[in-house]
Amino acid sequence: MWACDPALTSTFVNSYQVAGPVVMQALTSFFAAQCAISGDHLWPPDATQAVLADPNYDFIVVGAGSAGSVVANRLTEVNDWRVLLVEAGGNPTLGTEIPQLFYNNLDSPNDWGYKTQPQDGACRNYKSKGCAWPRGKILGGSSSINGMFYVRGNKLDYDEWAAEGNTGWSYDDVLPYFIKSENFMGDITEENAKYHGTDGYYYVNKDTENNMFEDIIIKASVELGLKNLSEIVGAEQMGITRTLTNIKDGKRMSTARAFLSPIKDRKNLHVIKNAVATKILFKPGTNIVSGVLLNQKGKDIVVNVRKELIISSGAINTPQLLLLSGIGPRKHLEDMNIEVKADLPVGENLQDHLFVPVFYTKPGDKNLNSMPNILAALAEYILYQTGPLSDTSPHKVISFFNTTDPQASSPDIQGHYVVFPPSIHNLLDSFWVHGLSDEVVKKFHQMNENTFTMIVYNVLLKPKSIGRILLKSKNPFDHPLIYANYFEHPEDLETVLRSMKQNTLKLGDTKTFKDAGFKPEWIEIDACKDFDKKTDEFLECIARELTFSLYHPTGTVKMGPDSDKRSVVDVELKVREVEKLRVIDASVMPSIVRGNTNAPTIMIAEKGSDMIKKYWLNQHTEL
């Protein structure tokens, strides 16, 4: 990435003196515009030298992602607290900040690049025989590489948490924290006023511009009986809508841009980058946390904490760090020859949203994605942050419906709708970056060469199949073993097949799709070729071959009341049997929410930060 140093920019531009003043001015404008989008000056500086000079902090937050960025912001609102934020990656780049290119961040240096362990019943057409599980390794974490959908889930999600004994986590309890973080850029009406906030850091955009493909999807879904909603974060979730997005002025609104950039010069905030937390440290002979061991470029750094260590590394990295530190199932830790500090079910209760695609195509001109057109769009974006790269259309439509009860108030399926122009692989190759087999990648290219290709995601919202995470070894740089266990419970597959038959495959029968020229089409997979395409056997084969994750791992450090032996943290997110340690991220969700997980994770961070403040400001001074 260009460092956005004025002196370096000048040197680079001057090296092109022979090009003449017009080209020189264009280069100067180009680099200045690029720096304005993603330059290093936008983010907190690296504080490695400050950490080495004085490695003592009131709070240490491990992970600068969707949760950690929020926690660091809120804790440093207390001027007397010295806070260190630890991030394994670096600053956002131009590639992360361009909304339309979000898929290109998969399998990049900004992605941890996790894969699930091979299983017989799912993810069978991947090269590794395991599904891709992208996770952000960058300031902003997965909010810097995701699809920028702003979805809160269903009211029932949080009421179910509370009903399980998680006092203070009902919908009415958490709604104020969704509102606190939000800066809503749509119209506030009498109908939606109680659900939106306008004073928060996190910009939420309501697009008012129509897109032809999105109009077609919505109109066809209404033909099938779905309700056309203005939005789905208020009183109703069941239906179809253009989603709210975290995009402002043509740029991604990650938690890094929202919560860290505005406070980058706050004196009591230090951010150490490209540093991996490898072990939680304890006072000798106790279960009282004393700090954390970091590794930066091969060198170990010990950082001490006075009040609390907060782990906000996500549903994969958080359990890995806890396990490496002796917090987890006794047998697994003993098998790894790790001293047991607390025998807790860390890594269990893993839940994720899988999806299975259905394809539609219509003829199109492959020159739409020619290199001159791509370069023109990129230049327009960098210079003005406008044009087709400045938002996520035509991919903004989402739907929610229930396959067993059309009148239900909570869904079991979410629909996502992605529309790729002809020869999309000239700009991004989503099947290749996911690690699909050469067979599938090649056949998708053939399908898409001269067609607009719509991929409808059948997303399973409430999986009954539960996975787990285990250590591969004691080496903190070895990826943990991720057992997704997709489709292990038969009802999960049944729900996905109902979705395909009741909704996504019926889109092709609508007048809207027929008038628009969209026809169903399948990628011809050898493993499924002997099945009649009209049978459940064929659909099951497709589901097991072309399983995808929607990148929503949760639940591996489960929150629960004292009576819940499956829980790791209590309702204040404190780790059981250990002092001065909390977990604040998606891993604490008792059960996965019915929708995208980024906004709920930010809510958890807002609520968790409030808990910390109340604990230390109102009751305690020092442990």
The total of structural domains in the chain comes to 1
Please report the pLDDT score of residue 622 as a whole number: 44
Confidence of residue 29 (pLDDT cuts 50, 70, 90): low
Residue 420 β-bridge partners: 453
Strand partners, 239: 400
Instruction: Give this prediction's pTM.
Output: 0.95
Question: pLDDT digit string (tens) for 562-586?
Answer: 999 999 999 999 999 999 999 999 9
Q: Does residue 19 fall inside a structural domain?
A: yes
Say whether 609 sits in a helix, a strand or coil: helix
Token pair in block for residue 564? 């819940």
d(CA 344, CA 367): 57
Q: How confident is the model at residue 1 (pLDDT cuts 50, 70, 90)?
A: very low
Q: What is the mean pLDDT of residues 397-422?
A: 96
Query: Domain range spanning residue 21?
Result: 6-40
Average pLDDT for 324-332: 98
Residue 571 forms part of a structural domain: no
Answer yes or no: is pLDDT of 26 > 60: no
pLDDT of residue 367: 82
Is 17 within the bounds of a domain?
yes
Q: What is the pLDDT of residues 364-378, one digit of tens each?
A: 988 887 888 888 888
Average pLDDT, the chain: 93
308 lies in a domain?
no
Please choose, from the candidates 184, 196, 89, the residue with its C-alpha nearest in 3D space to the C-alpha of residue 145: 89
In 3D space, the residue among 412, 503, 416, 421 whose CA is nearest the CA of residue 149 turns out to be 416
What is the mean pLDDT of the segment spanning 40-68?
Answer: 97
> What burial class does residue 381 get, using C-beta atoms within 10 Å of its C-beta: 0-12 exposed, 13-18 middle, 19+ buried?
buried
Is there a domain that residue 324 lies in? no
Q: What is the predicted pLDDT for the residue at 275? A: 98
Strand spans (E) along 157-226: 182-184, 202-204
Rounded to an integer, what distance in angstroms lies between the CA atom of residue 198 and that of residue 180?
A: 8
In a domain, 14, yes or no: yes
Residue 33 is predicted with a pLDDT of: 78
Domain assignment of residue 22, yes or no: yes
Give 504's DSSP letter: I
Residue range 130-135: mean pLDDT, rounded:
98
Residue 426: per-residue pLDDT: 84
From the candidates 395, 416, 434, 552, give the one annotated as an active-site residue.
552
Given this model, what pLDDT does residue 178 score?
98
Distances (CA, A) of 548 to 115, 237, 460: 11, 23, 11
**337 burial type by CB count under 10 A (0-12 exposed, 13-18 middle, 19+ buried):** exposed
- pLDDT at residue 618 greater than cutoff 50: yes
The verdict on residue 29 lying in a domain is yes
Lowest mean pLDDT among 80-89, 250-259, 427-436, 480-489: 427-436
Which amino acid is it at 398?
I
Specify the amino acid at residue 21: P
The yes-or-no answer on residue 552 being catalytic is yes
